[in-house]
Structure 1
């Protein structure tokens, strides 16, 4: 199930990236409502699964609170190149979203139709930049969990074979 959610999250990242590329080219490929709803449906389940599955049991000292048994861990199980790629794509989405804020005017009624359409493109680019960044984080976290589970599963298999 985690693999499916990770693939959906990656599809959401690609969806956001393709729409932002169109917006940077001056074309609105899909209406803002549809673009954002589809991105949310694709990205948020994978992000949630990545956050939930990246919990680690506390080892060593007992926690000060009896109810804290797990802590969240960053996606350290990914290879270094995967972390670098995720960071670069996250930075690209962040820049796309933040740079969209510079084009949003205070009063959209002040301009003509072309300026209104440009403002809508900036607003859509901001929303998709945020959702794309969330999707990159969710994809990296879920992939890290999958890598960790694969490693521990391989270790269990080796231990079971050597126990005989």
Structure 2
């Protein structure tokens, strides 16, 4: 199941990346509603699974707070995987942040070109956020999958 969620997250990252690339090239491949809903459906389950499966039960010394029974652990990925994740995350972050400037401009009444550009900026912002979330979730799910497989091999 974790592999399926990881693949879905990766598909969501690819979907968001392709749509952002098209927007930067001047083309809108899907309406904002379709683009964002599809990206969210692909990205959010894998992100949730990645976050939940990277929690570890506290063993050994008890935490200072008695109600804390688990902590989040950083992903166990090779350095190149973490570096690639950081680069892709930054690219989505930059695409989203750079779209904010276009969303804050005043639009003259009746200027359909400006309205379309603002809608493109809104879509780019939403896809940048979801792409970043998907990138992190995909890395977390991949780390969990890697840890599960390593544990299974060690037991065999």
Q: Residue 69 of structure 1: CA displacement?
A: 1.3
- TM-score scaled to structure 1, two decimals? 0.91
Counterpart residue number, 1:162: none
Secondary structure of 2:103's match?
coil
In the alignment of these two chains, the number of paired residues is: 156
Matches within 5 A, 1:14-29: 14-29=14-29
Instruction: Extract structure 1 runs of 4+ deviating beyond 3 A.
Output: 105-111
**Quick one: distance in 2 between partners of 1:108 and 1:43?**
32
Max radius of gyration: which structure? Answer: 1
1:73 deviation in Å? Answer: 1.3
Match of 2:36 in 1: 36
* Structure 2 unaligned regions, length at least 5: none
Shift in Å at residue 110 of structure 1?
4.0
Cα 1:73/1:113, change in 2 over 3 Å: same
- TM-score normalized with structure 2 length: 0.95
In the alignment, structure 1 residue 2 sits paired with structure 2 residue 25: no
Q: Structure 1 pair 93/111, CA: closer, same or farther in 2 (3 Å)?
A: farther
Matched residue, 1:160? none
5+ residue gaps, structure 1: 158-164
Give me the whole-angstrom Cα distance separating, in 2, the residues matched to 1:18 and 1:106.
25
Q: Deviations over 1:21-43 (max 9, x none)?
A: 00000111100000000011000
